[in-house]
Amino acid sequence: MRLNRDVLLGLIVLAMLLGVASISPAFIAPGNLATLFNDNAMLIMVALGQMCVILTKCIDLSVGANIAFTGVIVALINAHAPALPIPLLMLIAAGIGLALGAFNGALVWLARIPPIVVTLGTLSIYRGLAFIASGGTSIVSKQMSHAFVAWPRLPIAGLPLMSWFAIVAVALFALLLNYTRLGRAFFAVGGNPVAAVYTGIDVGRTQFIAFCVSGTVAGFCGYLWASRYTIAYVDLAGGFELDVIAACVIGGVSISGGSGTVFGTLLGALFFGIVKNALPVIHVSPFWQLAISGAAILGAVVINAVRENRRPGRLILKEAVAT
């Protein structure tokens, strides 16, 4: 019997929660679970954007740098013009993110440079620009307006606005990927690019749009990040791109494109978040965190590989390749 992968991962996440709860029951108190979700809201959002990119056989390594640059710019704007309304600032953040994502996408689409090379380059460039923009200094909480810091914490129906953003993002991405032409195009481009061309899908353009989506989400999270940690500086979200890709991989998004689910990615991000939050509760040194996430990625990858059926086209080669 083959269990649905998402269900399996869901059960693992549940088992982890219960396991931690058996040591410290307070861990699964509703309040703590809400905090846990809120802590991982940005990871969930950026992972969903990344998922679109990975679906189209690309990869976006620049999301962490995008967050840093956008966070610094938005914080600087706020420091100089505290009166500017926050929703407008959010729009600006998303707009900057969109521009950075579009730059990645244009290089992939028009210059035909492999996405890993493009985003490896822009990863350095965006973070360097964040340094230049900030002049190497940090924009700290006393420079930020009260509203800038308060908005993501605004409680609505018991949950902070930050969590609602993540919930809305999950809903929007589920709609986008399951019920729109563009969503189907993401899957088609990654699943079989040649077939996608014959069905009239512009592969390069679709990949470009995927990068725009990922960039926009990352930019929006740039504001959230600066606001949540009440600081904006060059190392903001350093290495975050790897957490994001790990969340996708654990969530069952195939790195070779064309397969993945919103629910899986959500679970992948939560899995990551639970590991991070649970370690101190079960009295394990936080220094174990990196090793455990590495092992989790490897485990997920191997489980994916073992469960995944070989593509029919390759079956004829199975014996030859297995030598």
Which parts of this chain interact with other proteins (CB under 8 A)?
57-59, 107-108, 111-118, 120-125, 127-129, 131-132, 136, 193-194, 197, 203-204, 207, 234, 242, 245-246, 249, 255-257, 285, 287-295, 297-298, 301-302, 304-306, 317, 320-321, 323
What tokens were used for 122? 């822009």
Cβ proximity to other proteins, 211 vs 220, nearer residue: 211
Per-residue 3-state assignment (H helix, E strand, C coil) for 27-50 = HHCHHHHHHHHHHCHHHHHHHHHH
Tokens of 114: 């492999």
The pair of three-digit structure tokens given for residue 65, joined into one six-digit string: 């740098």
> At closest approach, how far in Å is the CB of 58 from other proteins?
6
Smaller CB distance to other proteins: residue 125 or 167?
Answer: 125
Based on CB atoms, which residue is closest to other proteins, 127 or 228? 127
Residue at 257: amino acid letter: G
- The type of residue at 16 is M
> Smallest distance, Å, CB 231 to other proteins?
17
CA distance 169 to 247: 16
Q: CB 258 → other proteins: shortest distance, Å? A: 12
Nearer to other proteins, 1 or 194 (CB): 194
In angstroms, give the least distance from the CB of 135 to other proteins: 10
Q: What is d(CA 130, CA 233) in angstroms, rounded to the nearest whole number?
A: 7
Instruction: State the nearest-atom distance from the C-beta of 188 to other proteins, in Å.
Output: 13
What's at 289, amino acid-wise? Q
**Hey, what are 310's tokens?**
């070989």
Return d(Cα 68, Cα 238) in angstroms, integer.
8
* Residue whose CB is less far from other proteins, 262 or 297: 297
One-letter amino acid for residue 50 of the chain: Q
Neighbours of 113 (CB within 10 A): 14
Query: For residues 2 and 311, which CB has a smaller minimum distance to other proteins in the complex?
Result: 311
- How near is the Cβ of 242 to other proteins at its closest, in Å? 6
Nearest to 68 by CA among 213, 246, 212, 229: 229
CB of residue 161 vs other proteins: minimum separation in angstroms? 31
Which residue in 202, 188, 190 sits closest to 255, CA to CA? 190
Task: For residues 103 and 304, give the distance between their C-alpha atoms in angstroms, rounded to a whole number.
Answer: 32
* Shortest separation between residue 112's beta carbon and other proteins, angstroms: 6
Q: How far apart are CA 45 and CA 162, in angstroms?
A: 10
C-alpha closest to that of 260 among 272, 249, 252 = 252
Q: Whose Cβ is closer to other proteins: residue 103's or residue 263's?
A: 103
Considering the complex, what minimum distance in angstroms separates the CB of residue 160 from other proteins?
Answer: 29
Residue 139: which of 92, 90, 76 has the closest Cα? 76
Is 15 or 117 the residue whose CB approaches other proteins more closely? 117
* Alpha-carbon gap, residue 262 to 166, rounded angstroms: 12
Nearer to other proteins by Cβ, of 167 and 292: the residue is: 292
